[in-house]
Amino acid sequence: MVPRLGVNVDHIATIRQARRGTEPDPVAAVVMAELGGADLITIHLREDRRHIQERDLRILRETVQTPLNLEAAITGDILQQIKQYRPHYVTFVPEKREELTTEGGLDVIRHRDSVKSAIEFCHELGIPVSMFIDPDVAQVAACAELDADAVELHTGAYADASTKAKMAEELVALKRASTETVACGLHLHCGHGLNYLNVTEVAAIAHMEELNIGHSIISRAVLIGMKQAVAEMKSLIVAAHAARHLP
């Protein structure tokens, strides 16, 4: 199975919020992303509402043609937004107001009780849950114990590696955690920092089901357009999958 491409449109909203105006509209960007081959759309409704707003969640839930994945911290306010708008699935992430972007995976072991409650809350609504975690086998096992449906392995350390040797080391960690994910019966996703130069190795990991990519696609879309930027990323993922299955 070719991994699905989830396109994160948060940074379209970042540009809009810079002027507190109405453009560019993430809803329009989603239309072009889907035309370019996006398999799903990912948005992160942060506590400080720095980019995506409730309005975006509401309209996208009504208009999106592919599944809508909502990234969210485990807070009472966000859980109520989940209950009201019912995204197709939820990915729980850690969140700090001072960070520029999500800096690491959620510590499921440390926050076991709140994670368990949040997963149960979503399951009662019929919403599958993915956990955004570092590529650590103990964290993967904890997600399985708490009845998560999927894990999204944080690829930041791999993407930010300053040498080829370090990148290779981080890829090994990703593959190890991926193997544990599949062994635990969880769906395997990856994301954070992936771009047109580093996505191939991750897309080729066995049993990879989904890659969520935002900043790199939006950055390229500024220059060449959203539809083409998404299409180029999708072609890299398809090619990586095909190469892994060559005799």
Residue 210 falls in the annotated catalytic set: no
- In one-letter notation, the amino acid at residue 57 is L
Alpha-carbon torsion, ordered 90, 96, 99, 104, to 10 deg: -60
CA distance 53 to 43: 10
Res 50: pLDDT? 87
Residue 68 pLDDT > 80: yes
Out of 11, 34, 71, 187, the active site residue is: 71
Res 48: pLDDT? 87
Contact yes or no for 11/51 (Cβ under 8 A): yes
Residue 152 falls in the annotated catalytic set: no
Q: Which fold has domain 4-241?
A: TIM Barrel (3.20.20)
Q: pLDDT of 110-166, one tens digit each?
A: 999 999 999 999 999 999 999 999 999 999 999 999 999 999 999 999 999 999 999
Q: pLDDT of 24-47, one tens digit each?
A: 999 999 999 999 999 999 999 988
Res 104: pLDDT? 81
Out of 51, 152, 192, 210, the active site residue is: 192
Q: What is the mean pLDDT of residues 77-103?
A: 82
Residue 44 falls in the annotated catalytic set: yes
Tokens of 169: 């080391």
Out of 44, 51, 187, 189, the active site residue is: 44
pLDDT bin (cut points 50, 70, 90) of residue 103 is low
